Amino acid sequence: MIPFLDLKAQYNSIKTEIEEAALKVLASTQYSLGPEVKAFEGEFAGFCNSEEAIAVNSGTSALHIALLAANIQPSDEVITTSHTFVATVAAILYAGAKPVFVDIEEGSMNIDPKRVEAAITEKTKAIIPVHLYGQPVDMDPIMALARKNNLVVIEDACQAHGAVYKGKHVGSIGDMACFSFYPGKNLGACGEAGIVTTSNSKLAHSMRMLRDWGAERKYHHVLKGYNYRMDNIQAAILRVKLKYLKDWTEKRRKNAKLYDENFKNCCVKVPKCHEFAGSVYHIYSIRTSLRDGLQKYLTSENIHTGIHYPIPVHLLPAYADLGYAKGSLPLTEKAANEVLSLPMYPELTESMIIEVCDHVKRFCNENVS
């Protein structure tokens, strides 16, 4: 059996360190925020080359407080992509604003910067580019449009810890960037956690209040805030894991390269990355019009895969009221029908990758004339 993701392999490789860090916090009895959170904020900001980081309890909370700190109001519009995890869009709605979708680039499957300008209206206040699958969005044209139109840019970097765009770390390009430490992400907590990075001290100050009931100091609530605090125990665990992240990312890149090489002359399309994009391969997503058949075949051979994402957000029943009909984002909808995520994690072995590739090639040989 080849799993899609193997968190046990990673846990076993650093078990003692994780357990020591967690036990230390348990004994300290300081559980919500605390010294580990503070230390992790500094270390993660450093990792991203940003001035500050505000730790919260999920990637979704990170997006929510980033939008609030940017003073997004009901009736404002926020431009983003529909080819993303639902949380990107949900956070815009939590802030009371209206998500406006722009279609993707056929190759990278990220938001197409060339289509953004046409979506800007006098109500537009922010853009949320999503570094999907760990591949950075083409940020230069997006930042230029944002500066020209006075828009805030919030990177959704929930899948892109450590990704690099033209030498710059994601998390240091937009006005703010949001990361998730959901267990399956490239840097995963043992539970829920997230963070916002920024080099704008005013925004950082607002977000520190918003995550903790909007309080300037205890019981002095100057903003309508939330309980979005990070657990001290999660921060302690994340500090241990952050030390390994560069090494884990290198292993993901090596795995992706091996997949790429083995899929030459095969019926599936390998992920297309821009020259400038240092992807961290949170997900290795191939494309084929025979996706459903291929997935079924791989499952029958005990190779587990995923689909990110089978239904674009604008076509989900929950978001029908946003008013996007089928066919309104053709490239997004085409991608949703064709993408298939293959097993991808640092501990995946070369022989496992070869086995996956051999099965995919066998499927191609049998189904494509």
Ligand X SMILES: *Cc1c(COP(=O)(O)O)cnc(C)c1O
**Between residues 58 and 108, which has the closer beta carbon with respect to ligand X?**
58
- Closest approach of Cβ 361 to ligand X, in Å? 30
Stretch that binds ligand X, among 26-34, 48-56, 151-159, 343-351 (CB under 6 A): 151-159
Residue of 65, 104, 130, 360 that binds ligand X (CB under 6 A):
130
- By beta carbon distance, the residue nearest ligand X is 59
Q: Which stretch binds ligand X (CB under 6 A): 52-60, 102-110, 216-224, 258-266?
A: 52-60
Nearer residue to ligand X within complex by CB, 33 or 266 = 33
Q: Of these, 59, 129, 162, 278, which contacts ligand X (CB under 6 A)?
A: 59
**Which lies closer to ligand X via its Cβ, residue 141 or residue 183?**
183
Q: How far apart are the first and last CA of the chain?
A: 29
Considering only 82, 88, 135, 279, the residue that binds ligand X (CB under 6 A) is 88
**Cβ atoms of 231 and 57 closer than 8 Å:** yes
How many Cβ atoms from other residues are within 10 Å of residue 176's Cβ? 30
- Pairing type for strands 124-127 and 152-156 reads parallel
CB 92 within 8 A of CB 78: yes
Closest CA to 130 of 97, 159, 92: 159
Q: Which two tokens stand for residue 96?
A: 């009371």
Q: How far is the CB of 192 from ligand X (least distance, A)?
A: 6
Q: Write out the binding residues for ligand X, residues 248-277 only, by CB under 6 A.
A: none
Based on the number of CB atoms within 10 Å of its own CB, is 202 exposed (0-12), middle (13-18) or buried (19 or more)? exposed
- For residue 158, state whether it binds ligand X (rule: CB under 6 A): yes
Residues 6 or more apart whose CB falls under 8 angstroms from that of 38 comprise none
- CB of residue 181 to ligand X, shortest distance in Å: 7
Cα–Cα distance between 159 and 133 in angstroms, integer?
6
| 89 touches ligand X by CB under 6 A | no
DSSP state of 99: E
The reply on whether position 10 binds ligand X by CB under 6 A is no
Q: Which stretch, 85-93, 139-147, 234-242, 263-271, contacts ligand X (CB under 6 A)?
A: 85-93
CB of 135 to ligand X, least distance (A): 12
Length of the chain: 369
SS3 content of the chain, % helix, strand, coil (to 5): 45, 15, 40
Structure tokens at 253: 């890149």
Select the residue interacting with ligand X from 40, 85, 101, 263 (CB under 6 A): 85
- Residue 84, interface with ligand X (CB under 6 A)? yes
The verdict on 194 binding ligand X (CB under 6 A) reads yes
DSSP string, 212-276: BTTEEETTEE-S---B-BPBHHHHHHHHHHHTTHHHHHHHHHHHHHHHHHHTTTSSSBPPP--TT
Q: Is 235 in the site for ligand X (CB under 6 A)?
A: no
- In whole angstroms, give the CA distance from residue 321 to residue 8: 41
Build a one-symbol-per-residue string for 325-344: x at contacts with ligand X by CB under 6 A, - elsewhere.
Answer: --------------------
Vertex 315 angle, CA 311 and 320, to 5°: 145
Record the tokens describing residue 78, joined without a space.
């926020």
Task: Identify residues 99-118 at the interface with ligand X (CB under 6 A).
Answer: none
- Span of 19-27, 153-161, 317-325, 339-347 interacting with ligand X by CB under 6 A: 153-161
Q: Which is nearer to ligand X, 87 or 126 (CB)?
A: 87
Nearer to ligand X, 142 or 353 (CB): 142
Examine residue 182 and tell whether it contacts ligand X (CB under 6 A).
yes
The tokens of 359 are what? 């099965």
Binding of residue 44 to ligand X (CB under 6 A)? no
- The C-alpha atoms of residue 169 and residue 188 are separated, in whole angstroms, by 19
Measured from the CB atom, the residue of 182 and 259 that comes closer to ligand X is 182
Q: Is 180 in the site for ligand X (CB under 6 A)?
A: yes
* 288 in contact with ligand X (CB under 6 A): no
The binding site for ligand X (CB under 6 A) comprises: 58-60, 84-85, 87-88, 130, 156, 158-159, 180, 182, 194
